[in-house]
Chains A and B, each alone.
Chain A
Amino acid sequence: MKVLVTENLRINLDTELWECRHCGVELISARENYKRGLLVYNRDPREIHKPLLDPTRYKHTYSPNPDWCRILEYYCPKCGTMMETEYLPPGHPPLRDIEFDIDALKAQWKDREEVVEPTLGEAPKRKSHSHAGHSH
């Protein structure tokens, strides 16, 4: 039985391991912080949110200040999918953002059917109107 936890991560309840949903690689024990099974890169935010105003003329350019804000990018070590991003001040310890009680999770899913594909919603229907034999 595997439980889908995010767009990129799942927990294998039988092996008690975090796995990448894209390549299936086993990352680390489900009782651990999943980030310990990933690669991390300290990204200068100006590389993603590029200066749109001339930085030689203006203090503010639409780019975050790299001395205040960094982006930690978390990658799957096997397929290179970006599993999470974390915007932090430099040096701030990364959060343990998911910490489940694995025994309780196993008990909870004992009587549930496995969800292999995530349940997706759908965009609300747009209002349309009809005239002259056609609608749009």
Chain B
Amino acid sequence: MNEPKTAFDEQKIRDKFLEENQLFLSPDPAIMADHGFGPRSATEEAIFKKGMDPHLANEVRGRVLAALDESNTMIEQMGAAPGAKWGDMAAAIFTAQGDLSMIAPYGVFAFAGACHYPIKFIIKYWTNEPTVGVRDGDAFIHNDSRYGGIHNTDQSCIMPLFWKGRIIAWLSATIHEGENGSCEPGGMPAAAESKFDEGLKMSPFKFVENFKIRRDLLTFLQNSVRDPKLQSEDMKVKLHSVLRLRERVMRILEEFGEEALIGTLRKNLEDVDAEVRRRIRELPDGTTRVAVFPDSTLRENVLMKWSMAVTVKGEKMTLDMRGSSPEFLNRSINTNQASTKTLILSDYLQNIWPDLQPTSAVMAPVEILFDERSLLNGSFDVPQAMSLIPLFKAMTILTVPMAKFSYMLPHHYTAIAAPQYDQPATMIYGGLTQNNENVGNFCADINGNGQGGRNYCDGEHSLCPPFAAMCDIGEMEITEEELPMVRLGAFTLTKDRAGFGKFRGGSGYEQIVTSRRTGFWGFMTGCTGSVFTPTLGLFGGYGPPVYPLCKIRNVDIFEKLKTAPQNIKFDIIDLMNNRPVEGATYSTHDMGMTFELAKPGEVYMICQGAGGGYGDVLLRDPALVAKDLEEDLISPETARDIYKVVIDPATLVVDEAATQALRDAERRARIARGKPFDEFVKEWNTAEPPEHLPYFGSWDNPKVIYGMSGGQRVKMDSDKIVSMFMPNPKDMKIAELENELAQVRAQLAKLGV
């Protein structure tokens, strides 16, 4: 029997009713799926019909950039968050429709790149909503990455720019604030098992009216976090930097007129879109592929496939992320597709086409494909507090498949480089300071990732974070004034822990920290890559090693330093292998550590990581190997065993003939031990992931997804993925110990004890 047809008008009425009576304005799927920019407005169309003078646009662009730079500097100078002080922030300007047109030259691209989502939400839902509305003098706050953003530590202030009674642009300021009232201090809780453990979850709402912050809302927000001073101060900082930006842009409007500004903002988008399409057309048609395997949920070790296939056909580029790991219902490392896309935008702007104007248009010609309920396209309900784990990959990994497309070109837009170290290796802290203030945040060491080796030289050491080129690692003296944390030792570059290659990756540095003058203090770390190498090499270079967390506990290092400081060398390898602090407990751990209380004088140690190596180690200039040895970046064993360079240990002079002989021998040895590919894969390939691996994602077929739920392996079609549910690691440990206990009891019973 046919279903009775609904009359057209009745359907229309029903749709209208549902639209006007939406129960909950969750993130709008149409907004969140659109990473490009919209069509011209009628005003823009009229301006372009008349003709937009490129010289005028250039002048206006320069003036807006200067204004953005000033606002960015204001945030940096006045911001209270550690992130703001060392560059983890951005000021940006958007078109009236909410498309990102320009950001401050030293700002974090991704912050601006994520803001168009909440702006479009505000335009769509609050403009005509009688209980909200958008008026001159209003500003909106937002932090929930489900509505656009990277993670919930980042708070944005968004303001419409009115001119002669109508909105002609949107302005924003964003800071990585850190503390947000989550279940662990610092705003990035690895322990979050649901989104309700993540702390503040601000959908875009109005917190400023008539240019003033509403005190009731400010109080509510302060009441929701551990650091009410930080919350208050930085809300004011962001508002006032946006207000300054507003003033400066209004001066531009007075001088050049509104058509010049509107036309320039739009022209930025269209020019970049055209240029990106031209650059894609230059590339060969085809597909390049890459996969990496993050090794921890930050609660337990697992292997999660992070897969990307880049396909170019004409002026179209497609990034296919299908076949990646499924999402986790009760782990914090998921992210959503808008966040993933925003960090891929950041990868294009930082590593592939850094000469382009950072706008929404960079990604407009790029289509991105995801499985539903995947780690990279998590659903609304999964926790995303440590989304940085998959997102740091998104910021760096594009260099590998793009290098394989672009190496051949007659000209390059930047260096061809191996990926930068791709984990947030920093101590996250929380507790009561020596000034009796509750705090929770992270250290600016997150900004010191080593760069990958380049096609003409080595990678830079501890250069910058993968999400921004201009952030700094901070001044420890300033940190120690505010926090009871003490940095032991200098920022010493790691030795023998770079990606080896013809051009080696830049090294990271050692972070050795402790605390004093506090009765309540603790640390956490949120990194993968302690079991499986995190970062790839390129064109025959090796990746970096894996990095553990090392601890020296049950001791007050300051007491030991009073009596015998000469015995203690602040070098992780020396401390752990030689154990100069007697009576202490030494241990190594995965770099994923949930919040843990630390007594004063206990020592926690991690490394900022190194970039991947570029090219074959045997092609490295022996003189560069000798230089690495002289600079204490490598040991004589690495020079000999990895680079096959013979160097006099006393004079550091290279023996050219002996080196040539050693390298020739190694080439012969490679040919002798290598197997032809077809023969090799017959022995190597397995039909499924090995039983002993807790593996998540596709194996050989991207349409078949493996996972584990409740401790058992599952196999799913990629269009029917279900969220993974992980058992509590403590329950697993208890079960393991109970099992051991039962065995021991059985043995004792046998012995009649």
Binding site for B on A (CB under 8 A): 3-8, 33, 35-42, 45, 48-50, 52-54, 57-65, 67-69, 71-75, 77-85, 87-101, 104-105, 108, 112-113, 115, 118-123
Query: When the two chains form the complex, which single residue of B404, B548, B677 contacts A40, counting CB atoms closer than 8 Å?
Result: B677
Of the stretches B120-128, B172-180, B250-258, B692-700, the one at the interface is B692-700
Residues on B with C-beta less than 8 A from A45 are 533
Q: Are B540 and A8 closer than 8 Å at their CB atoms?
A: yes
> In whole angstroms, how far apart are the Cα atoms of A105 and B545 in the complex?
37
Q: Are B670 and A48 closer than 8 Å at their CB atoms?
A: no
B19 within 8 A of partner (CB): no
Residue of chain A at shortest CB distance from B414: A121
Q: Are A69 and B532 closer than 8 Å at their CB atoms?
A: yes
Q: Are A71 and B690 closer than 8 Å at their CB atoms?
A: no
Instruction: Please name 5 further chain A to chain B contacts, defined as beta carbons within 8 Å, in addition to the given A41-B675, A53-B577, sorted by A numbering.
Output: A39-B675, A49-B542, A52-B497, A68-B693, A77-B671
Nearest chain A CB to B59's CB is how many angstroms away? Answer: 28
Do A48 and B642 contact each other (CB < 8 Å), given the known contacts A38-B677, A41-B670?
A: yes
Contacts A/B (CB < 8 Å), 30 sampled = A6-B404, A7-B455, A8-B615, A37-B677, A41-B673, A53-B576, A53-B588, A61-B548, A61-B588, A68-B531, A69-B532, A74-B674, A81-B619, A82-B616, A83-B616, A85-B537, A87-B536, A88-B293, A90-B686, A91-B686, A93-B700, A96-B289, A97-B401, A97-B404, A99-B286, A101-B284, A115-B408, A119-B409, A120-B455, A121-B414
Q: Are B677 and A7 closer than 8 Å at their CB atoms?
A: no
Query: When the two chains form the complex, which single residue of B408, B619, B641 contacts A3, counting CB atoms closer than 8 Å?
Result: B408
> In whole angstroms, how far apart are the Cα atoms of A61 and B545 in the complex?
10
B676 within 8 A of partner (CB): yes
B17 within 8 A of partner (CB): no
Query: When the two chains form the complex, which single residue of B412, B531, B674 contacts A65, counting CB atoms closer than 8 Å?
Result: B531
Residue of chain A at shortest CB distance from B616: A82
Nearest chain B CB to A114's CB is how many angstroms away? Answer: 9
Residues on B with C-beta less than 8 A from A75 are 670-671, 674
Q: Are B532 and A7 closer than 8 Å at their CB atoms?
A: no
Q: Are B689 and A7 closer than 8 Å at their CB atoms?
A: no
Residues on B with C-beta less than 8 A from A90 are 686, 690, 693
Give the contacts of B475-505 with A (CB-CB under 8 A): 496-497, 500, 502
Q: Are A95 and B291 closer than 8 Å at their CB atoms?
A: yes
> In whole angstroms, how far apart are the Cα atoms of A119 and B413 in the complex?
11
B445 within 8 A of partner (CB): no
Give the contacts of B373-429 with A (CB-CB under 8 A): 401, 403-404, 407-412, 414-415
B659 within 8 A of partner (CB): no
Residue of chain B at shortest CB distance from A80: B667
Residues on A with C-beta less than 8 A from B159 are none
Residues on B with C-beta less than 8 A from A123 are 456-457
Residues on B with C-beta less than 8 A from A74 are 540, 674, 677
Interface flags, B75-108, vs A, CB<8A=1, else 0: 0000000000000000000000000000000000
B658 within 8 A of partner (CB): no
Residue of chain A at shortest CB distance from B685: A93
Q: Are B496 and A121 closer than 8 Å at their CB atoms?
A: no
Nearest chain A CB to B221's CB is how many angstroms away? Answer: 40
Q: Are A121 and B642 closer than 8 Å at their CB atoms?
A: no
Q: Are A82 and B617 closer than 8 Å at their CB atoms?
A: yes
> In whole angstroms, how far apart are the Cα atoms of A48 and B692 in the complex?
24
Residues on B with C-beta less than 8 A from A85 are 537, 540-543
Nearest chain A CB to B241's CB is how many angstroms away? Answer: 28
Do A7 and B540 contact each other (CB < 8 Å), given the known contacts A40-B677, A49-B545, A82-B670?
A: yes
Nearest chain A CB to B430's CB is how many angstroms away? Answer: 24
Nearest chain A CB to B307's CB is how many angstroms away? Answer: 9
Residues on B with C-beta less than 8 A from A122 are 456
Q: Are B289 and A39 closer than 8 Å at their CB atoms?
A: no
> In whole angstroms, how far apart are the Cα atoms of A83 and B677 in the complex?
13
Residues on B with C-beta less than 8 A from A113 are 410
Q: Are B539 and A84 closer than 8 Å at their CB atoms?
A: yes
> In whole angstroms, how far apart are the Cα atoms of A41 and B301 in the complex?
27
> In whole angstroms, how far apart are the Cα atoms of A94 and B414 in the complex?
29
Residues on B with C-beta less than 8 A from A65 are 531-532, 546
> In whole angstroms, how far apart are the Cα atoms of A72 and B500 in the complex?
15
Do A73 and B670 contact each other (CB < 8 Å), given the known contacts A6-B404, A8-B539, A87-B533?
A: yes
Nearest chain B CB to A64's CB is how many angstroms away? Answer: 5
Residues on A with C-beta less than 8 A from B615 are 7-8
Q: Are A5 and B288 closer than 8 Å at their CB atoms?
A: no
Q: Are A62 and B547 closer than 8 Å at their CB atoms?
A: yes
Query: When the two chains form the complex, which single residue of A37, A80, A82 contacts B668, counting CB atoms closer than 8 Å?
Result: A80
> In whole angstroms, how far apart are the Cα atoms of A79 and B361 in the complex?
45
Do A89 and B689 contact each other (CB < 8 Å), given the known contacts A52-B497, A97-B289, A97-B290?
A: yes
Query: When the two chains form the complex, which single residue of B410, B573, B590 contacts A53, counting CB atoms closer than 8 Å?
Result: B573
Nearest chain B CB to A1's CB is how many angstroms away? Answer: 11
Q: Are B533 and A42 closer than 8 Å at their CB atoms?
A: no
Residues on B with C-beta less than 8 A from A37 are 677
Residues on B with C-beta less than 8 A from A63 are 545-546
Residue of chain B at shortest CB distance from A51: B545
Query: When the two chains form the complex, which single residue of A54, A68, A98 contacts B288, counting CB atoms closer than 8 Å?
Result: A98
Nearest chain B CB to A95's CB is how many angstroms away? Answer: 5
Residues on B with C-beta less than 8 A from A72 are 684
Q: Are A89 and B293 closer than 8 Å at their CB atoms?
A: yes
> In whole angstroms, how far apart are the Cα atoms of A120 and B432 in the complex?
52
Q: Are B285 and A105 closer than 8 Å at their CB atoms?
A: yes
Q: Are B548 and A60 closer than 8 Å at their CB atoms?
A: yes
B681 within 8 A of partner (CB): yes
Q: Are A36 and B678 closer than 8 Å at their CB atoms?
A: yes
Residues on B with C-beta less than 8 A from A58 are 548, 576, 586-588
Residues on A with C-beta less than 8 A from B537 are 85
Residues on B with C-beta less than 8 A from A92 are 685-686, 689, 699-700
> In whole angstroms, how far apart are the Cα atoms of A39 and B545 in the complex?
24
Q: Are B614 and A7 closer than 8 Å at their CB atoms?
A: yes
Residues on B with C-beta less than 8 A from A96 are 289
Do A59 and B588 contact each other (CB < 8 Å), given the known contacts A48-B542, A73-B670?
A: yes
B680 within 8 A of partner (CB): yes
Do A6 and B407 contact each other (CB < 8 Å), given the known contacts A59-B588, A108-B284?
A: yes
> In whole angstroms, how far apart are the Cα atoms of A120 and B502 in the complex?
14
Residue of chain A at shortest CB distance from B664: A80
Most buried by B among A67, A80, A104, A112: A80
Interface flags, B106-124, vs A, CB<8A=1, else 0: 0000000000000000000
Residue of chain B at shortest CB distance from A48: B542
Q: Are A39 and B670 closer than 8 Å at their CB atoms?
A: yes
Residues on A with C-beta less than 8 A from B577 are 53-54
Residue of chain A at shortest CB distance from B683: A42
Most buried by B among A59, A73, A89, A112: A89
Interface flags, B283-299, vs A, CB<8A=1, else 0: 01111111111010000
Q: Are B533 and A69 closer than 8 Å at their CB atoms?
A: yes
Do A99 and B548 contact each other (CB < 8 Å), given the known contacts A48-B642, A90-B690, A113-B410?
A: no
Q: Are B291 and A104 closer than 8 Å at their CB atoms?
A: no
Residues on A with C-beta less than 8 A from B171 are none
Q: Are B539 and A6 closer than 8 Å at their CB atoms?
A: yes
> In whole angstroms, how far apart are the Cα atoms of A38 and B543 in the complex?
21
Do A101 and B293 contact each other (CB < 8 Å), given the known contacts A64-B531, A79-B667, A82-B540?
A: no
Do A68 and B532 contact each other (CB < 8 Å), given the known contacts A5-B407, A62-B545, A118-B455?
A: yes
Residue of chain A at shortest CB distance from B668: A80
Q: Are B285 and A67 closer than 8 Å at their CB atoms?
A: no
Q: Are A89 and B693 closer than 8 Å at their CB atoms?
A: yes
Nearest chain B CB to A89's CB is how many angstroms away? Answer: 6
Residues on B with C-beta less than 8 A from A115 are 408-410
Query: When the two chains form the complex, which single residue of A61, A81, A121 contacts B455, counting CB atoms closer than 8 Å?
Result: A121
B530 within 8 A of partner (CB): yes
Q: Are B289 and A49 closer than 8 Å at their CB atoms?
A: no
Residue of chain A at shortest CB distance from B282: A108
Q: Are A100 and B286 closer than 8 Å at their CB atoms?
A: yes
> In whole angstroms, how far apart are the Cα atoms of A91 and B687 in the complex?
8
